Amino acid sequence: MLRNQKDQMEESIEIILEKLVQMTKDVVAKISNEANQCLNVVLAKYDPFRCLAVIVPLLVTDDEKTLVMCINCLTKLVGRLSQEELVAQLPSFLPALFDAFSNQSPDIRKTVVFCLVDIYIMLGKAFVPYLEGLSSTQLRLVTIYANRISQARSGAPIDANQ
């Protein structure tokens, strides 16, 4: 339905997206996996701004699984935005990402790093001023991963000192 009846589903995509995020935590693996597949379709094919409007508020949660899932969703959505659109959206979600970066859970911190790295790779040195809220250790971690991934993809490192 999400793929073939997009026009009919578009009207209520926010409700569908929120329910899918909840269903990814289902204890029945088949339900959780199907919800994940549907979630990927929504994140890839539907309006990224409407999806962000659902995902960003969910970044403020104490539920580890929901937080990891929402950060993963955010990572997929930022990849669909232009540089200008992404810069305009940063204030809406960076504070929550920075909070999550200090979480006790290594899974949450790792997910945050990869999200920030993807943003860094998209925006390059223009992203550096936004990273001032990170500790020096966190900033170093993000720049190291960004450089490694950037070099692996293109052979060109990102210089955080520029």
Closest CA to 97 of 123, 122, 73: 73
* Top-level class of domain 1-154: mainly alpha
Mean pLDDT, residues 91-118: 95
Please report which confidence band the pLDDT of residue 156 belongs to, taking 50, 70 and 90 as the band edges.
low
Give yes or no for residue 4 having a pLDDT over 90. Answer: no
> Residue 162's pLDDT band (boundaries 50, 70, 90)?
very low
What is the mean pLDDT of the segment spanning 116-132?
93
Q: Is the pLDDT of residue 158 over 70?
A: no
| Residues 102-126 as b or e (16 or more Cβ within 10 Å = b) | ebeeeebeebbbebbbbbbbbbeee
What angle separates helix 83-101 from helix 48-58, to the nearest 10 degrees? 10
Q: First and final CA of the chain: distance in angstroms?
A: 47
Q: Which residues have CB under 8 Å from 48's CB, separation 6+?
A: 77, 80, 81
97: its two tokens? 């990402």
Higher pLDDT, 59 or 154: 59
pLDDT tens-digit readout, 23-82: 999 999 999 999 999 999 999 999 999 999 999 999 999 999 999 999 999 999 999 999
HSE, CB side, 13 Å, CA atoms: give it for residue 159: 3
Is residue 118 within 8 A of residue 75, CB to CB? The reply is yes
Task: Name the residue ranges covered by the structural domains of the chain.
Answer: 1-154
Exposure on the CB side of residue 78, measured as CA atoms within 13 A: 28
